[in-house]
Amino acid sequence: MRLTALAALAVALTLPVAACAQAPDDAALRAAVASETRPAADRARDGARHPYDSLTFWGLKPGLTVVEIQPGAAGWWRNILEPYAAATGGTYVPVDRVNDGLGVADGSADMVLVARAFHNWHRGGRTDALMGQFFAVLKPGGVLAVEQHRAPEGSDPDATAPNGYVSEAYVIAAAEKAGFVLEDRSELNANPKDDRDHACGVWTLPPTRRGPEQGCQITPEQRAEYDAIGESDRMTLRFRKPA
C-alpha cells in the first residue's frame, strides 16, 4: 500500500497544476450564469463561450474586484459578472474608455478581464500602453484574464488584426513585456473548424454574421457554411502580476 501511495504521489507531481487542483463548485456563479435575467441571446451562446468554466479557470471567486475592459453595449460578460459581484460582496467595474487612463486606482483590482479586443488595439498601436495600465491597476498577485480570437502561430498581426485575430504569441509577448507571468492557458474556447478565411473577417461568423445587409457580399450557401463553423477559435489565457 505504501509503494502504491508513493507511486501515485510521484505521478501527481508530474501533472500540471490545473490538473492536480480542482476549484470548488461556485453555486453563486452557476446561478448568475443560469439566471433568466440574462438576455436569451446571451444564454444561447453559453455553449460556445463556456462562461462558468472560463471564469473558474481565470480564478473568479466571491468578493473580488473585477475590472472588465470595454464590455460593450451588449455586455455579455457584464450580465454575469455584475450580478455575481452583487451577490457575493464583490465589485464589478466596467471600463468603456481606455484612451486616457482607466479611471481605476492603481493596485485596486483582483482581476482585469479583456475579451476580444487585442486586434483593435494592435491596429491603433495601443497594446503596450494598455497592458502597462492593466498591470498598474492590479494588486500584486492579481490576474489578467484574456479571451481573444486566435490567429495561427507565426502569423503577422499587421495582416491578421484587421480580420479580428492575433496570435497567442502576440498576446503573451505583450503581457510579459508589461511584467505579467503566463500562468496557464486553456483550450476551452478552441474551435478547430475556424480556418480564419472569412469574407468579412471574424465578423462573418456568429454572432455578428455580417452579410449583404452590412456590405459583406456572400451567398446564402456561404452563409450556411459560416454558420456551420460557429463562433471563432479563441485563446483563453491567465496571466498573473507577480506578488
* Residue 87, domain member (yes or no): yes
Q: Return the pLDDT at 21.
A: 54
Contact 182, 176 (CB under 8 A): yes
| Type of residue numbered 171 | V
> Do the domain assignments include residue 4?
no
Q: pTM of this prediction?
A: 0.89
What is the tens place of the pLDDT at every residue in 56-71?
999 999 999 999 999 9
Q: Sign of torsion, CA 222 204 50 21?
A: positive
The pLDDT assigned to 61 comes to 97
Specify the pLDDT at position 1. 35
The answer as to whether 170 is a domain residue is yes
Low-confidence stretches of the chain (pLDDT < 50) are 1-20
Q: Is residue 73 part of a domain?
A: yes
Give residue 159's domain range: 16-194+232-240
Residue with cell 452579410: 211
Residue 121 lies inside a defined structural domain of this protein = yes
Residue 55: give its domain's CATH number. 3.40.50.150
Answer whether residue 142 is part of any domain. yes
Query: Is position 175 within any domain?
Result: yes
pLDDT at res. 22: 67
The pLDDT, as a whole number, for residue 18 is 44
**CA angle, 208 then 212 then 218, to 5°:** 90
Domain total in the chain? 1
Asked if residue 63 is part of any domain, the answer here is yes
Specify the residue for cell string 480564419.
Answer: 196
